[in-house]
Structure 1
Amino acid sequence: MSTNTNNETMQTVTRRVDAAVIGSGFAGLSAAYEAAKLGKRVLLIDKMPNPGGNSVMNAGQIAAVGSPNQEKAGIKDSVELMKQDMLDAGVSLNHPNLLEKMISQSWDTVKWTMTEFGIQYRDRLTQMGGHSVPRTLSTMNHSGRDIIDPMLSKIQYMPNVKLEMKTKFERFILEKNDENGQDEVAGIEVSHNGVTQDVICDKGVILASGGFSADIPFRKIQVPTFGEKVMSTNQPGATAEVIKESLKISALPVQLSHIQLGPWTSPDESGFGLAPFFCIGAGFPYGIIIDPDTSTRFVNELGNRYERSMAILKMCHPVVCMTDSEGAKHSLEKDLTKLEPTLKAHNSIEEVAEEYGMDPIVLRETIDKYNASVAMGEDEDFGKLLREDAAPLVKFPFYSVRLWPKVHHCMGGLHINSDAQVMHVDGYPIKGLFAAGEVTGGVHGGDRLGSCATLDCIAFGRIAGKNVATFNKKKEGDLHNVAT
């Protein structure tokens, strides 16, 4: 029972669709589009007032093997090499079947965004930390909106897709399968403007609700040190209620305590901020990270995110990322004035030292030593992969930002198989329940490489959408597996 605005008691509203998708980011939109394209009636819901979730805060980057961009640049890459990079970063906790599925479809996934939605990418590839070779494509404006907005525009004109915001998932509606006695997902209960609705799903439910980086109580249970004092890059809707309700119906969790910190965030701005756009494109590949207490480097600027974040945290204070005016040209945000006051400009090494309380003599020695490494083409101190166009830090003004890690991504989540079906704790797929994106776990293992989340969301969102559309609840395991 529920109550309307006139306080009159009425029956809960019941609706019927083929599939319901929870979450309107990369994964949810990809899933909804694929299911609708196969003629299914899709309800796409999001509890927030605006669509896109964390995906709109994304830097518009996606990793892919075998792109024409790599071929043009003479970059040798392979599924096995990317797989090994992700295993190295994930300390081999990644599930091989999910890795293989995602990476083998990586370029096809990017092509799909181009052909279906007209999304454009820059010719130049980005070298992300932890990747052995440049393989990351960037949208024209380096923004997740470059992907989200075209997806939304196309979906909103599809007559068989209904997008509803401020609609909150409350619980699963289950029914007993007469053949085996197992519970299967028949639909979901949602609330909108104080009215409860039962949504019956003839095909199934797709979870694409994202991670729980902004859910401090749940996050702190997994990693007690990631409490109130650790900020997050995520939007406030990144909470754990979908995962918790899934656990209530015996969905199998995987690696929930593996929570990633972003090493490129600044304590001088809230949320994701703008510092990452400078660090990812310019500061890390074309500059150095310095401990202000010692005025020296202390980490590989292009190591994986875990290595860099932990190295910074060991300093017990913010550190400094710096490059010169030539390196700054590679900033993802080209208008550097937009990065002020977080980004500082300096006309001499002495100005840098004064700004951060460094020793100017030691700082100059650190820069000279790094410049010598660039000239040799090898970083003997920390093993940083130096790009062919790397240059010595000599052109003023120098630019710098302070860094302190923030919670950014939850590697752990619900266990899925390669068909994007959510798995029961007893080892079988929960009938009628699919998931994609950050709500799932196993793809990234112990730590995620940059630009792999976008690929994860879109690739498995597509798989979930296609498979829910072809799923027959009347037959156990009836999946056509038409992933790509």
Structure 2
Amino acid sequence: MRLASPSFLLKSISIAAISYLAVRYARQAVMSTPRTIVVGGGLAGLSAAHTALENGATVVLLDKKPSLGGNSVKASSGINGAGTSAQKKHGIVDTPEAFYKDSAASARDLARPHLIKALTDHSAPTLQWLVDVFGVDLSLVARLGGHSIPRTHRGKGGAPGWAMTSALVKALEARSDRAQIIKDARVVSLVRDAGRVTGVEYEVEGERRTELGAVVIATGGYAADYATGGFLSQHRGDLMTLPTTNGDHATGDGHRLAASLGGALCDMDQVQVHPTGFVDPKDPDAKTKFLAAEALRGVGGLLVDRNGARFVDELERRDTVTAAMQAAEAPIRLLLNPQAAAALEAHCKFYMAKGLMKRYENAATVAEETGIPLSALEATFTAHQAYADGREKDPFGKTNFDNATYTLDEPLLVAQMTPVVHYTMGGITVDEQARVLDEAGGPIPGLFAAGEAIGGVHGRNRLGGSSLLEAVVFGRIAGKSSTSTV
């Protein structure tokens, strides 16, 4: 047998060594690039994905539905911000401190200062990011219930949730070089190695697959978890008979994933019932309702009972308005005069096209069809004008009277309202860096959460306009944290 020459062996060994080193360095280069796995394709998940990209990571976004957006696309009132450029253009003076004070008062005894401060301090920069990076129109500002200052932003077009979410979806789809979107993908478990979360296992197209990287849970809440033994039945069985505004994806999947590794859950009994969901005349008993945006009341809409009488300050906190509605004589109706309708023209056109809101030529036609005495409507309108003019004090404490003048002769938009399960304040326990905490209060390495999946930000009651804000603020925090060593 002929033996290889020493020079040939040396050359072969050198080639092998060079190949080994090349593979090793290539592997190290790949490993040195942060990788973030985002579970959930609503506004929180999309914000986390974009922020992870901004911080040098590659991203895989998984969503169990065939399309992205979640409940975020439905959000119709706006997004809160304190000290924004839009507020300044409108002459509105606001600060993060004032926003914090309103949020803490709404959260009451369950207020968590570190989370509220993260929400409110980041609000103005967050809105500016949406405007500057994605071209979202947030030029209009309104006051919603529980806010001492107008700070809820929206654009001149349709629902702000759709405007924001669709812009972020389009931008992420354009980043296919570093971001992969996988739909119809149901995450079934988290992967953990030496105490650190290192990825997820998921099912798609009948196969089980694995993706490795830091994990951000952004799966939304559990306001559609009506299953026997589900989170609603466990923590708020009294709400099982109410309809919901949530899509069928909102079943607490992320909460179960976090809990499977010892993640703590908090405030799980704190479920927000929104006072105004539309009753569809074609399907009044439907379990899922369209939300009647709080902005409808913010621009001057009135709530009246079956007798045409007001019974609450329309811009009180959501829990207060809900309680008043449940105590009032049904059916409850929302009325908008032409000025209020014009302020939310796109919204109203959409609701009318869906058959959820009807236009009447005057109050007499409303009275004829609904059975509300015309004299009662006249008395309500006259009294409301006196309160708006300051000649009398509103018995329900109302102080915001935009578009306050209602007359018998002008057209009215009318819709029937019902309270609806809307938002879950409880959820996964996180710190101000969006790290998921265990029962002992320590962070679970490699695991982060954002959006409605997290708990504790809103305490006992969420202010209108703070759900979209929470999604983007904590989505951005989680996206950034996922690329670091925290």
1: distance between equivalents of 2:250 and 2:339? 37
User: For structure 1, which segment, 344-353 or 108-117, has the greater mean C-alpha deviation from structure 2 after superposition?
Assistant: 344-353
2: distance between equivalents of 1:345 and 1:286? 16
RMSD: 2.3
1:266 to 267, 278, 286: 278
Q: Which amino acid aligns with 2:57?
A: K
In structure 1, the residue matched to 2:143 is 127
1:443 to 457, 472, 475: 457
Instruction: Evaluate the alpha carbon distance shift between residue 210 and residue 68 of structure 1 in structure 2; reply closer, same or farther with a 3 A threshold.
Output: same
1:443 to partner: Cα distance = 0.7
Secondary structure of 1:185's partner? strand
In structure 2, the residue matched to 1:19 is 36
2:474 to 453, 460, 470: 460
User: For structure 1, which segment, 417-426 or 110-119, has the greater mean C-alpha deviation from structure 2 after superposition?
Assistant: 110-119
Contact between 2:119 and 2:470, CA under 8 Å: does it hold in 1? Answer: yes
Deviation sequence 1:230-252 (CA, Å, 0-9, x none): 21111111111221232122111
Q: Which amino acid aligns with 1:427?
A: G
Answer yes or no: is 1:63 the counterpart of 2:80: yes
Instruction: Evaluate the alpha carbon distance shift between residue 272 and residue 470 of structure 1 in structure 2; reply closer, same or farther with a 3 A threshold.
Output: same
1:116 to 125, 133, 138: 133
Q: Which amino acid aligns with 1:419?
A: Q
Contact between 2:340 and 2:403, CA under 8 Å: does it hold in 1? Answer: no
In structure 1, the residue matched to 2:483 is 469
In structure 2, the residue matched to 1:324 is 337
Instruction: Evaluate the alpha carbon distance shift between residue 387 and residue 216 of structure 1 in structure 2; reply closer, same or farther with a 3 A threshold.
Output: same
2:216 to 176, 200, 206: 206
Q: Which amino acid aligns with 2:95?
A: S
1:102 to partner: Cα distance = 1.4
Secondary structure of 2:377's partner? helix
Instruction: Evaluate the alpha carbon distance shift between residue 37 and residue 271 of structure 1 in structure 2; reply closer, same or farther with a 3 A threshold.
Output: farther
1:404 to 389, 400, 418: 418
Deviation sequence 1:80-124 (CA, Å, 0-9, x none): 2211211222224121101111111111001111222122223x3
Contact between 1:184 and 1:432, CA under 8 Å: does it hold in 2? Answer: yes
Q: Which amino acid aligns with 2:198?
A: A
User: For structure 1, which segment, 22-31 or 341-350, has the greater mean C-alpha deviation from structure 2 after superposition?
Assistant: 341-350
1: distance between equivalents of 2:318 and 2:77? 18
Which runs of 5 or more residues in structure 1 are unaligned?
Answer: 1-14, 177-182, 472-478, 480-484
Deviation sequence 1:131-155 (CA, Å, 0-9, x none): 1111111033232221122212222
In structure 2, the residue matched to 1:5 is none
Contact between 1:47 and 1:169, CA under 8 Å: does it hold in 2? Answer: yes
In structure 1, the residue matched to 2:447 is 433
Secondary structure of 1:153's partner? helix
TM-score, length-scaled by structure 1? 0.86
Instruction: Evaluate the alpha carbon distance shift between residue 175 and residue 332 of structure 1 in structure 2; reply closer, same or farther with a 3 A threshold.
Output: farther
Contact between 1:251 and 1:423, CA under 8 Å: does it hold in 2? Answer: yes
In structure 2, the residue matched to 1:249 is 261
Answer yes or no: is 1:307 the counterpart of 2:325: no
1:335 to partner: Cα distance = 5.6
2: distance between equivalents of 1:134 and 1:272? 30
Secondary structure of 2:323's partner? helix
Contact between 1:215 and 1:239, CA under 8 Å: does it hold in 2? Answer: yes
Instruction: Evaluate the alpha carbon distance shift between residue 377 and residue 102 of structure 1 in structure 2; reply closer, same or farther with a 3 A threshold.
Output: farther
Q: Which amino acid aligns with 1:441?
A: G
Deviation sequence 1:196-238 (CA, Å, 0-9, x none): 112222xx110011111111132122111111x3211111111
2:226 to 213, 216, 227: 216
TM-score, length-scaled by structure 2? 0.86
Q: Which amino acid aligns with 2:460?
A: G
2: distance between equivalents of 1:282 and 1:349? 19
Report the structure, 1 or 2, having the larger helix content. 2
In structure 1, the residue matched to 2:12 is none
Percent of residue pairs identical: 28
2: distance between equivalents of 1:439 and 1:163? 20
Contact between 2:77 and 2:464, CA under 8 Å: does it hold in 1? Answer: no
Q: Which amino acid aligns with 1:375?
A: D
1: distance between equivalents of 2:339 and 2:162? 28
Contact between 1:39 and 1:160, CA under 8 Å: does it hold in 2? Answer: no
Bigger Rg over Cα: 2
1:346 to partner: Cα distance = 3.0
2: distance between equivalents of 1:377 and 1:165? 58
In structure 2, the residue matched to 1:179 is none
2:370 to 356, 372, 388: 356
Secondary structure of 1:212's partner? coil
Secondary structure of 2:326's partner? helix
Aligned length: 445
2: distance between equivalents of 1:51 and 1:241? 16
In structure 2, the residue matched to 1:366 is 380
Instruction: Evaluate the alpha carbon distance shift between residue 384 and residue 285 of structure 1 in structure 2; reply closer, same or farther with a 3 A threshold.
Output: farther
Secondary structure of 2:233's partner? helix
Secondary structure of 1:463's partner? helix
1: distance between equivalents of 2:203 and 2:96? 43
Q: Which amino acid aligns with 1:136?
A: T
1: distance between equivalents of 2:325 and 2:356? 18
User: For structure 1, which segment, 257-266 or 389-398, has the greater mean C-alpha deviation from structure 2 after superposition?
Assistant: 389-398
In structure 1, the residue matched to 2:208 is 196
1: distance between equivalents of 2:218 and 2:333? 36
Contact between 1:57 and 1:272, CA under 8 Å: does it hold in 2? Answer: no
2: distance between equivalents of 1:275 and 1:353? 25
Q: Which amino acid aligns with 1:216?
A: Y
